[in-house]
A and B are shown apart, each in its own frame.
Chain A
């Protein structure tokens, strides 16, 4: 587990197309999906000072990401690459129901 590859950080950016921004339903879906991965995943609204744990629904809600804002995602850990890809897809496709 201390393999160097695990220390690599993967990242992605995605525009929030959801009409009401990062509110309860999208936040619940995002954290549920993030929890399926081992990786440490952080998100923030582009340019924000603090990174936020993508597995905490309270913090994701508190982020107040608005419709049209860009979300930055970064992850480190064994499945980090897949985690970033999955989360980007979730936001990009506007939180489809089947993901929950």
Chain B
């Protein structure tokens, strides 16, 4: 709270970088006022009308949003059209419940049922139901059946925001999103980053009232009704951000990143083929990590060989001569995949995940390996296995892979065994790195840190302990890099550390000369290496 008594500043966590200065708008769904219930007939009519209105609104949203978002919304429409489900609610109204009370208790029962499920997929659906519950209640309470009017460029503040509400807001005039709760990994955060809307989450308590707001997605701050001094500082930060982006972009175009005369190779991580649409990707030295889990979640059913081959081939074509490292399915742990991963593990992070799971489900793994073997002849492909503990697992994976290549070739199908490497994320693998006959190593610093520090990385309460710069983590990174240097094997790092400028000096000092970063961080990382190399600080 610097710069004046009237000024209010709140700090949260960054979900999407950028700056927004605009009217402050609270959009919490609860209009507060209780409805006055009418007669039984009036209540039944009111609910029928609200359901029709909601149904129309959602169908409209789905039509605009398309794709995955439309499918999420389709389930809500189906529920509104479910006569069995709706009839029970009308029955409750017939027994004297008010429309909103009957509706809420039916939806709450469903939500509780979904939340009690073991299945993560079903649990995730409960937020869709809450979205639907609140929409109908808002209409019943005379919410006008319309979305809250939000002026262009507004800083929208809510407790949390479901994807459907985000999509309803017109972001074409800029603006930002400030959430009291929420998470940087939520659906909404992904939408915000994709649209370049600054977003700060976990702000805690923020007053209901405010005329204007400053949202700094980089510093993760929200300032309400700023005084002139706050405004001046905000504009200064915004300007620095803009200039830094501009100079980073100039450096980005240089052919190589140099640090004390040594070339630092910079690769990008992608989650999805569509990520290659980011313009900065073209300046990367290749793809250091292509995750393949999206193939498991996006479609109905596990992806067939052709769908996988098409995805791998598209990425190889994009890369041309540059290397592309594809990681085999890394499911399990905090990434459950219904029908693939095992339910009911007491400690999934230490359970059947990564390569362990693939070796346990060879029928699913074989399809991926076939697609990869066929893709290997189309470009500069490398394949790596995640979550490897012992050299025997690498060899078991290699044998499966080699057999598949042999069978494909016997059938006259073009295929080859690509270079095989492993992720170094299990401490045992880092300590015994020389026991692996791998063509390359890629350090997965997120999991490595979680295992070395004994901190569940999904547990926010442990955030202060979860320090990737802990000497024990750096020691393992340095040992792995040193082994690579002596044995002439490439070692890179593809965890979040590589995309964090503050970690760069330590990583370079550990001996790493290859990093794989998120595409949006490429310019900044290249710029930071340039500054460090020329004796400058982090700037």
User: Which of chain A's residues have a CB closer than 8 A to the CB of B81?
Assistant: 57
The answer to whether B338 touches A67 (Cβ under 8 A) is yes
Q: Output the nearest chain B residue to A20 by Cβ-Cβ distance.
A: B338
Query: Is B34's CB within 8 Å of the partner chain A?
Result: no
For A59, the chain B residues whose CB sits under 8 A away are 82, 84-85
Please tell me if the beta carbons of A18 and B301 are within 8 angstroms of each other in the complex: yes
- The stretch among B71-79, B145-153, B388-396 that forms the contact with chain A is B71-79
A82 within 8 A of B: no
Question: A19 to B71, Cβ gap below 8 A?
Answer: no
Contacts of B166 in A (CB 8 A): none
> Which residues on A sit within 8 Å (CB–CB) of B296?
19
How far, in Å, is A16 (CB) from chain B's closest CB? 10
A58 contacts which chain B residues (CB < 8 A)? 79, 82, 84-85, 110
In-complex Cβ contact of B300 among A26, A53, A55, A57 (8 A): A26
B103-143 at interface with A (beta carbon < 8 Å): 110, 113, 117, 119, 121-122, 125, 128
Nearest to A59 among chain B residues (CB) is B84
Minimum Cβ distance to chain A for residue B402 (Å) = 27
A60 to chain B, nearest CB (A): 9
Q: Which residue of A lies closest to B339 (CB)?
A: A19
In contact, A25 and B71 (Cβ under 8 angstroms): yes
Count chain B CB atoms within 10 A of each CB in A17, A27, A61 and give the residue with the most: A61
Q: Which residues of B contact A21 (CB under 8 A)?
A: 119, 338-339
- Does A78 touch B at the CB level, under 8 Å? no
B300 touches A18 (CB 8 A): yes
Contact of A53 among B84, B110, B113 (CB under 8 A): B84
B318 within 8 A of partner (CB): no
Task: Determine if A32 and B300 form an interchain contact, defined as CB atoms under 8 angstroms apart.
Answer: no
How distant is the Cα of A56 from the Cα of B89 in the complex, in angstroms? 14
Q: Is B85 a contact of A56 with CB atoms below 8 Å?
A: yes
Interface assignment of A64: CB less than 8 Å from any CB of chain B = yes
- In the complex the two chains form, is A28's CB within 8 Å of B339's CB? no
Q: In residues 1-41 of chain A, which contact B (Cβ within 8 Å)?
A: 17-21, 23-28, 31-32
Which residues on B sit within 8 Å (CB–CB) of A25?
71, 74-75, 300
User: Which chain A residues border B125 with CB–CB below 8 Å?
Assistant: 23-24, 61
Number of interface residues of B (CB under 8 A): 26
Q: Provide the bound-state CA to CA distance between A16 and B74, in Å.
A: 21
A94 touches B300 (CB 8 A): yes
User: How far, in Å, is B305 (CB) from chain A's closest CB?
Assistant: 15
Is A62 located at the chain interface by the 8 A CB criterion? yes
Q: In the complex the two chains form, is A55's CB within 8 Å of B117's CB?
A: no
B83 within 8 A of A: yes
Interfacial chain B residues near A96, Cβ < 8 Å: 300
Q: List A contacts of B300 (CB < 8 A).
A: 18-19, 25-26, 94-97
B172 to chain A, nearest CB (A): 30
Q: Are B121 and A20 in contact (CB under 8 A)?
A: yes
Say how far A41's CB is from chain B's closest CB, in angstroms: 12
Which of under 10, 10 to 19, 20 to 34, or 35 or more describes the interface residues of A? Answer: 20 to 34
Assess whether B302 is interfacial by the CB under 8 Å rule: yes
Q: Are B301 and A23 in contact (CB under 8 A)?
A: no
- In the docked arrangement, what's the CA distance between A77 and B304, Å? 38
B340 interface residue per 8 A CB criterion: yes
Closest Cβ–Cβ distance, residue B445 to chain A (whole Å): 30
**What's the minimum C-beta distance from B78 to chain A, rounded to whole angstroms?**
4
B83 to A56, Cβ gap below 8 A? Answer: yes
Give bound CA distance, A67 to B113, whole Å.
20
A26 to B110, CA, bound (A): 18
With a cutoff of 8 Å between Cβ atoms, the chain B residues found around residue A19 in the complex are 296, 300-302, 337-340
Alpha-carbon distance between A56 and B339 when the two chains are bound, in angstroms = 24
Within 8 A of A (CB), among B252-304: 296, 300-302
Question: Complex formed: what's the CA distance from A81 to B363 in Å?
Answer: 35
Q: Which residue of A lies closest to B85 (CB)?
A: A58
B79 with A57: CB separation less than 8 A: yes
Please tell me if the beta carbons of A31 and B301 are within 8 angstroms of each other in the complex.
no
Give the complex CA separation of A97 and B301 in angstroms.
12
* B195–chain A nearest beta-carbon distance, Å: 25
Complex Cα gap A71–B257 (Å): 58
Q: Which residues of A contact B337 (CB under 8 A)?
A: 19-20
Residue of A nearest to B296 (CB): A19
Give A25 to B125 CA distance when docked, in angstroms.
11
Cβ–Cβ contact B302 & A56, under 8 A: no
Chain B residue nearest to A94 in the complex (CB): B301
How far apart are B140's CB and chain A's nearest CB, in angstroms?
20
Q: Which of A37-74 contact B (CB under 8 A)?
A: 53, 55-59, 61-62, 64, 67
- With A18-B339, A20-B339, A26-B300 known as contacts, the answer to whether A31 contacts B122 (CB < 8 A) is no
| CB closest chain-B residue, reference A97 | B300
Q: Which residues of A contact B338 (CB under 8 A)?
A: 19-21, 23, 67
Q: Which residues of B contact A23 (CB under 8 A)?
A: 121-122, 125, 338
Within the complex, what minimum Cβ distance (angstroms) separates B401 from chain A?
23
Complex interface: chain A residues within 8 A of B110 (CB): 58
Q: Give the residue name and chain of the A residue nearest to B106 (CB).
A: A58
User: How far in angstroms is the closest Cβ of chain B from A66?
Assistant: 8
User: Complex Cα distance A61/B337, Å?
Assistant: 18
Q: Report the nearest B residue to A35, measured CB to CB.
A: B81
16 contacts between A and B (CB under 8 A): A18-B301, A19-B338, A23-B125, A23-B338, A24-B128, A25-B75, A26-B300, A28-B74, A55-B82, A56-B83, A57-B75, A58-B85, A59-B84, A62-B113, A64-B117, A95-B301
Q: A28-B75, A62-B113 known; 11 other A-B pairs, CB under 8 Å? A: A19-B339, A20-B339, A21-B119, A23-B122, A25-B74, A28-B74, A31-B78, A55-B82, A58-B82, A58-B84, A94-B300
Give 5 nearest A-B pairs by CB, closest first.
A19-B339, A20-B338, A56-B84, A67-B339, A58-B85
